[in-house]
Each structure stands twice: as structure tokens, then as C-alpha cells.
Chains A and B, each alone.
Chain A
Amino acid sequence: MKARLMHRDRDFNLRQPLPWNEAALTQDLELNTLFNAMAQGDEFIFSVVRNAVFTGMGLDQETILYRQHILRDCLKNPSVTREIYDLILEALESKKKATWFIFSMKYPDSILHTSLDVMAIFLTMLKKLRIYLTDNIENLESEGFRGLSAMLSRELDDKYLARVEAHLKQLKFRDGTLISATLGMGGKGIGFLLRKSMEKRRPWYRLLFPGKKQAFTYFVNPRDVSGSSALQELNRRGINAVANSLAQSVDHIENFILNLKTEMAFYIGCLNLNEKLSEIGEHVCFPEPAEFGKHKHHFKGLYDVCLSLTMKKSVTGNDLEATDKNLVIITGANQGGKSTFLRSIGLAQLMMQCGMYVPADSFNADLCSCVITHYKREEDKKMNSGKLDEELTRMSEIVDNLKQDSLVLFNESFAATNEREGSEIARQIISALTENRLKIFFVTHRFEFAYGMYVKKSKEHLFLRAERQPDSSRTFRLSIGEPLQTSFGEDLYKKIFSHADTA
């Protein structure tokens, strides 16, 4: 039995390793803001969405669309979605209550009794879920939900549940336990095996004359304490296997339920975020993922969802048409929205790849194998290595982990030295990287570097500029444009040496 709400063919694994640069991504793209908005204070949901977002890189188009369909169902039927999740939570809560007083799993009979209770709780919940899904199936269009409903109806039909019911009753052993054994070391019993009692199936007249069968009975005196516990131990040995098997079955069912909870938690997280964004007047769209390596970035109204969540208001979005580009260099004024733009690129990519909607009017981009960030960092005083040294150490680490079809985001990298050197380093690195199948977005102030790339006039390069209105106000919009050298120095020259040219 599988939930199959995250993958068509397997469970979602909460323990799968996160990418090596998970910490850098979290910091550079401010991912915790996103995760918190999705979790709404629920630690479990936080861990699920965090895992899902990080491990989305590497999913194929098909899986992304599979999740998108389920998510569309959820966005359309938020109350149904939440009801399913609540059913799960409720069952797990009841289980906790039924087992909290079990201090030890030392005795098969206590294991058996607890397992019987929990089994009843779980099966009741699964039955409810089965019925609930059947009742709402018309509103659920996705393959994922339909599959789950069909699976539950198939596996847990009334006939099966009745059979389980009968076992649960039988396992209370109202008529005593029937245990077979053979003679082991020293004549002690071994190989205890619980047997199905056939006594009841005999015709009534056999019950009247049981006599022919040779049997010996021993009654333990109720005051014989050691005798009673010896008898109890024999009984426990007899039910040991069945207690184990039932307890393991309970664990298996619990694993199924926990997995269902995990997979549902992702959609609950998406639902939470969507509601949050609606509140502040933002909107989302389902992206169209393109094949790996297609080098496509085509979007309208892409905004930085983290900025929006932080500012609690709608923020400016950007449009971009970058087909067959492998390098986008962004230059321009400070506070002009360059970093925000870069972050929105990274966030949208991660959200799209894990099956989420993206914060845009429309979004179409090729899948990447991993998102990598290289951001300028504050100088760490504790570290002995200089800043450039630190930057280049990180760069080296990136090179170690670089895969084909990576998306690499540089934000004012290699600025920790003078213009010439920094530019030269950047030029060398970027030239080397672009010769491979990668896509790079590079925010820089380094005119020499940016302009140096610009004059190559490569068709695969695109240059964006943060605009400043003539009145110095910022639009936070980027537009296509060649890198400009700041006119600040020239201005100054002109201002101070006002007569220089004319002299």
C-alpha cells in the first residue's frame, strides 16, 4: 500500500540527503522565509516542505506535472485537503493516547493488547478516509488522488475489514490459547506455535463426549505465585510470534499513515502559502517546465516571493525573454532590484522543480540539475583567510560539485579585490563555466568584466540593467541594456574641473 502523492511510483523519502549547498541556498535565497510561510508554525510541515524544495532538483518533467495536478486539486478543494490531513492527525493522536502508558515492550501479551487497540484505531481511520475520498471523488481530478482513493477501496474493502475484525476478536483469546510445541534441550518445550483452535467447529454431540482424546490437565493453585507466572510465561511464549507479527503490522500501517501525512503535508504547505499570498494580493501560476538543457527563461511578472512575504505587500515583478541564453549579466544602479531579481530567479526555479506553483503571471524555464549560488559574503572576522581567499574557496567547492545543467547565480562575486583583478578572475571563471552546459545569472558592479563580456557580442549572452528614472527614483524593473560605466567620476571631473576642456 502506497500513498503515491509525491511520486507516481514511490514514497516520498523525508530522509533523503539534501544538496551539498543547502545552507548557502537557504541563506542566499532566504528560503526560511518561504518555508515559514508554508509551515505556518508547524515544524513537521516545515521539515517536509524544506526537504521537498531541496530535493525537487533532479525530478523529471512528468513528476513535476503529476504534483502540479494534485496541487491544483488542493487549491480547488482546500477544505477537502485539510480534512484528509486532519483525519490522519486525529488517528495518530489517538494512537499516542492508546500507547503512552506502555512503558515497556517486555511482554508479548501487553504488546498484543496494545497492538490490537492501535490496529483498531488505524483501520477505523483508513476506512473513514476511504469513504471520504469516495464521497468527494468528483471534485478530485488528479491521478494522484484518484489513485489513492482507488487503492484504498481495493485494498480495504468491507470484506477485508470484516476479516480483520474477526482476527482482532479472536486474538483476545476468550477461549484460551492453543499452543503446539516440541521437546528441546532437557525436555523443555520449544518451537511454540499458536494454533487455530478447531474445537468449536465440532458438532455439538462431540462436545458432550470429548472423552476419547487423551489429555492431562494441571490446575495451578491461585496462591502459587511462581506457578502462575510460569504458566503466564508459557502463554507468552505461545503468543510471542503473533504479538510480534501484529505489532509489526501496526508499524507497517503506521508507516503508511505517516508517509501519507508527510506527502499531504507538502500540499498543506502549498495551500498555506497560497492563502498567505492571496491575503497580500499576490498571485501565482503553474509553470511550464522545459526539458533539461533547453536554455529557456521566459516569464512575465516574476516577483520575489520572500520579499513580498517580508514586506507583506505586493511587489514589482519582472518580465524576461531569454531563449538560448547561457549567461545573463545584470548591471546597474544600487538598490535597483538586481538582488531581488536574482533571488526571484532562484526561488522560482526551486519552486517549479518540486512541483509547486511559482510567483509570476507566467513562467516557463528549462529544468536544471541543481541551483547553485555564489554570493558576496560579509567578512568573517574569525577566519584567517582573506575575503577573496574565502570567495575562491567557495568557488572551488562549487567547481567540485558542478553538474551539467546547473543554474549558477552569482551576486557581486569576486568584488573583494580591485576592479582589474576581480574582473579578470570573474572573466576567467565565467569563460570556463560557459563552455559547459550551464546557465549563469551574474549580478555585478564590475564594469570592466561586464563590458568585456558585452563586446564579445555572443548570442548566448544577455545583458540586463537596473533602471533608474531620471529623477533618481527606482522602478525595481530590469530591462535589456548594455553595461554602463558609472558617470560618477566623469561628473566629478566635470564638476571640479569645470574649465578643463575649455582651458
Chain B
Amino acid sequence: MSFNSILSERTENRVEGETRSSGMPAFFIDLNLDQVIDAITASKTEYDLKPFFYTSLHTFSTIAYRHEVFLDLEDNRIADIIMDFAKQMRIIREYHTQVEKLHYPLQKQFWFLDAVEMYCEALKDFKRKLGFCSLTSTGLQSFWQYLRNYLDTEPFTVFAAATKELKRDLAEIKYCMVIKDNSIRVRKYESEADYSSEVEDTFSKFKDGSVKDYTVKYPDYPDMNHVQAKVLEFVSQLFPEVFARLNFFCTENTQYMDPLIRDFDREIQFYIAYLEFIKTFKDHGLAFCYPKLSADSGDICDTEAFDIALANKYSKQLTSLVTNDFYLRGKERIIVVSGPNQGGKTTFARMVGQLHYLASLGCPVPGKGARLFLFDNLFTHFEKEENIQDLRGKLEDDLIRINDILDSATSQSIIIINEILISTTLKDAVFLSKKIMERLVQLDLIGVWVTFIEELSTFDKKTVSMVSTIVPENPVQRTFKIVRLPANGLSFARAIAEKHHVTYESIRKRIGS
């Protein structure tokens, strides 16, 4: 199989082309995915990875292709090799930045040569190390074949040898400077003896134990002052042949880097960045899995899943992070979440949205064994701050937004709704909600709806009720567990009553006694 991109097996559809136009998806902020992607890419800004994370896939084969690569990279040895390569490539880029910044042509040539040398060495090293790995993914296997072929054939082999030779010849140059008053004379080195060590020898008899190091540290800035430049110029005149070769080399090889390898270096970071991000969570015992994706909306589930944005926010206290399970079977389509406030309902809704989105990127997702739905579109409708500029009322705004969504949604879409229609009377809210629910049920799409309107949970066979729960002994304390239970506003009140011993039985007993 010929290699094209580590992100996709398809040659006709490179991810980069796919995403150039599209920015961050609309639902990112509602699902807190913006925070997640920011965190994932924070240390990798140089790779401009966000476009990859903004683009969901719609073909099973590409998702499988990525799963394979992820699995290979979960082997630390392979990941470390890639990271080493990335580190070297980064240095090479820094060298080129340096070339741009520097002033003196000779100095630019030196930096360019160093970059090229490092490139050759980095590739050889990479190839050698990858050779020791058992790569199982189609993506990495075909990349390795590509790399091998590239390194073992003519233009590269000749080029690498020439680089090495030039580098060696330059390193062998040794010259002398005579500094006196305001003059500096430069000439070839003529085997003059090392005077420092002669002085050191003279005083060696006093040596005893260790003393302070008086060597002054001179920071090595890449910049050159004009005296140093003058010295380099003199040296180039003392050794004209080598410097002529250097000049020729630099003008001949401006486009030396292979574009596919350069792209690989960037694109592989999509995987590395994601794996690095989820490592903290995994280290704390939180589970990740490769979801089975299907086009069958009637069968989704995950266990021990969690809100990855919340986990990221509380990455210092991960042991207390609560995980949740859910499933939809048969005709079930819409999860209606109700229950006490601050109980993790919104988190739950976000989580379901995140899981599906991350799955559509071909990434492992939170949970122990997920079966998720490959959607065509993901919609969210979350309570928004009232906008003064917006002349429409809040209720109207809510309805316009939901209507837009309903118009574009299909049976292959996913919708996450969080506490809408609260700026109207309960009667209105119930009425409107039911109308909206009718449409959703008609569309037969998958959805999560967080609401205080419990009637919605028993709307239809397609709706499923889940509630946030509390600790019975201390109702103020939330468990953040969302469980499949009939919506029952009483359980919360009852727990509080029990705590204060004002339940029926309690009051009877207390009065009786």
C-alpha cells in the first residue's frame, strides 16, 4: 500500500484539504470541547493540530486506520521513537528559523548545513529504530516502507554523504588569533603548545581537593558580532576550497526536505498529543477504550465514562471523579435527564456528546467498552446568556435556535439539549417541550435532553429517563451519578426530611415518645 498520510488511508481526501475552510464546530463551546482541544494541543502549537481535531470523519475505514495507529503508539517504545524524531525535526526547524534571522551569509550557510546534517541523521536514526519495532498498523507500516525506500535510494544517499563530508572538513579547520590592543590577526594554526596546561602543570603541586570553578560562562548566542564575522571571513579566505563547497551546497539544496515526511512529522502529533493528554487520566485509573462505531442508532452504550473536560479541569483530584454508564437499546433514542440541580446532569449530557465526537475523530474515548453512533451532524442547544444586542426575547431566541437545528437534523444526527425554555411559565414550557419532543421522535435521532420537565421522560417508547442522585443520609451531597430511574422528584425531598427526622414515621415516633 502506498503511503499518503498517517491520518487517512485515502489518497484523494487529505484531511488538511478537508479542513482548510472549516473552523471550530459550533457545538465545541457547549460541550467544552474547546477546552479539551486547547489542552491537547497546548504544548504542540507549532504543529497547528487544531484543524485535525475540528474535522470529524464519516467513513468507518478511516476511523479503523486511525485506531490501528493509536494502538501502535500505545506501545511506549514506538511512541518514544516518534517523539525522538519529532524532537530532532523541531531542532531542524529552529535551525531554519535561525538561518532566516541571521545576518552574515557565511553564518547562514553554517546553520543551513547543520540543519541538513541533522535531517539526514534524524531520518537514518528513525528508520533504524522503527526497524526494531513490530508495527501492526497499516499507516505506520506503509510509512516505514516509504521511509526505507526514500533513504536507501539514490538522491538521498549521495546527498547525505556529501553533507557529512563537508561537515567533517569544516570541523577540521583550526586557526589562530593574535589579539593585541585593538587588532586581531587571523592565521592558520601551527601546532603551538597549549599554554594553559603548561601553567596548570606548574602549579599542580598545590592541587588538593576541589576548589571553586572560576571559568566564566559565555552564553552562546547564535548571533555574531562584526568582529566574529570578520574572523570567520578571514578563516574562509585561509581555507577557500572548503568554503566554496559550502556555498555551492547551500544554493543547490534549498528544497531538501521530503514533503511526505515533513507532513508525517506534523500529522503523527495528532495521535501523540491525544495520547499524552489522556495519559494522566489513565494513570489515575480512568478507563479509555476504542469504541465500536455503528450506523445503527438503536444500540449505543458506554460504561465508566466521564466528562473529559471536567477531568481535565480537575486533573489534580482525579481520584474523586465520578464515572457514569448509559445505554440505549432497541427503539430507545432519547435520554431525558432530570433530578436535583448541581447533580451532574449537564456534565452527563456533555459527556455523551463528547464521546461521540471524539469517536468520530478515530480517537479512544473515556469508558470501558463503548458502542457509539457514527453521526452525520452533532447539534447542541445549551442555555445561553441573554444578549442585550439581540432584540428577540430569550424564549423566542430559544425557539429559533431549536427550529434551525430541527430543520438541518437527520435521523443520523445527534442532539444534546440542556435546560432550555426556562424563561417562560411551566405550562408554556411543558407545551413547547412536548412539541419539540414530537419532532425529535419523528426524526428518530439520538439525543440527550436535560430538563426539569419530568413528563418528557415518559413521552414515548423512544425516551428513557435518567436522574441525578444524592446521598440519602446527606441530601446536600451529590453523588454525580446519573442512573436509569423513573423521574421522581420526591426522592430528594424525602432524603432531606429523613435527615431532619420529619418523615411521617419519624414524626409519629417523635410525637409518640
Contacts and interface: CB of A to CB of B under 8 A. Distances in A.
Given A214-B238, A218-B234, A246 B184 contact: no
A84 to B, nearest CB: 19
- Choose among B173, B192, B200, B226 the residue with the greatest number of A CB atoms under 10 Å from its CB: B192
Given A185-B114, A252-B211, A227 B227 contact: yes
Nearest to A155: B205
B205 A215 contact: no
Interface in A223-263: 226-228, 230-231, 233-238, 240-249, 251-253, 255-256
A59 B418 CA distance: 84
Interface in B449-467: none
A269 interface: no
Nearest to A247: B214
Given A111-B216, A236-B216, A255-B209, A183 B203 contact: no
B107 interface: yes
Interface string B165-185: 000001101111111111111
15 contacts: A2-B208, A181-B176, A185-B220, A186-B98, A186-B114, A187-B224, A189-B177, A194-B194, A195-B176, A240-B218, A244-B215, A246-B203, A249-B206, A251-B212, A255-B208
Given A186-B110, A246-B203, A248-B212, A216 B234 contact: yes
Interface of A: 1-2, 105-108, 111, 155, 163-164, 167, 170-171, 175-189, 193-198, 213-222, 226-228, 230-231, 233-238, 240-249, 251-253, 255-256
Contacts of B185: 215-218
A189 B231 contact: yes
B87 interface: no
A167 to B, nearest CB: 6
Nearest to B230: A218
A180 B176 contact: yes
B174 A182 contact: yes
A347 B305 CA distance: 77
B207 interface: yes
Interface pairs A-B: 10 shortest CB-CB: A176-B180, A249-B203, A195-B192, A215-B187, A230-B227, A252-B206, A251-B211, A247-B214, A216-B234, A187-B110
Contacts of A252: 203, 206-208, 211
Contacts, number: 210
Contacts of A178: 176-178, 192, 195
A119 to B, nearest CB: 8
B180 A187 contact: no
Contact of A219 (B170, B182, B199): B182
Contacts of A2: 208
- Choose among A183, A193, A241 the residue with the greatest number of B CB atoms under 10 Å from its CB: A183
B197 to A, nearest CB: 8
Given A178-B176, A187-B106, A228-B182, A248 B196 contact: no
- Choose among A185, A221, A243 the residue with the greatest number of B CB atoms under 10 Å from its CB: A185
B110 A231 contact: no
Given A185-B114, A256-B208, A176 B194 contact: no
B203 to A, nearest CB: 4
A227 B230 CA distance: 11
A185 B214 contact: no
B96 to A, nearest CB: 13
A194 B179 contact: no
Contact of B186 (A107, A188, A216): A216
What is the predominant secondary structure among interface residues of chain B facing chain A? mixed
Contacts of A231: 179, 182, 184, 227
B106 A244 contact: no
A219 B189 CA distance: 20
Interface string B442-481: 0000000000000000000000000000000000000000
Nearest to A219: B183
Given A186-B224, A195-B193, A243 B180 contact: no
A245 B207 CA distance: 11
A233 B196 contact: no
Contacts of A105: 214, 216
Contacts of B170: 183
Given A108-B216, A186-B111, A252-B206, A245 B199 contact: yes
A111 B214 contact: yes
B110 A185 contact: yes
A255 B203 CA distance: 14
Contacts of B222: 185-186
B328 interface: no
Nearest to A251: B211
Contact of A214 (B188, B194, B209): B188
Contacts of B171: 182-183
B203 A237 contact: no
A227 B216 CA distance: 20
B211 to A, nearest CB: 4
Nearest to B180: A176
Contacts of B188: 214
A240 B215 contact: yes
Nearest to B114: A185
Contacts of A249: 199-200, 203, 206-207
Given A182-B174, A256-B206, A246 B199 contact: yes
Given A183-B171, A185-B114, A194-B194, A248 B214 contact: yes
B230 A176 contact: no
Contacts of B226: 226-227, 230
Contacts of A106: 216
Given A188-B232, A193-B196, A198-B192, 18 more contacts: A111-B216, A164-B202, A171-B199, A178-B177, A178-B195, A180-B175, A183-B110, A187-B235, A189-B177, A194-B196, A196-B194, A196-B198, A215-B187, A228-B182, A231-B179, A240-B215, A249-B200, A256-B206
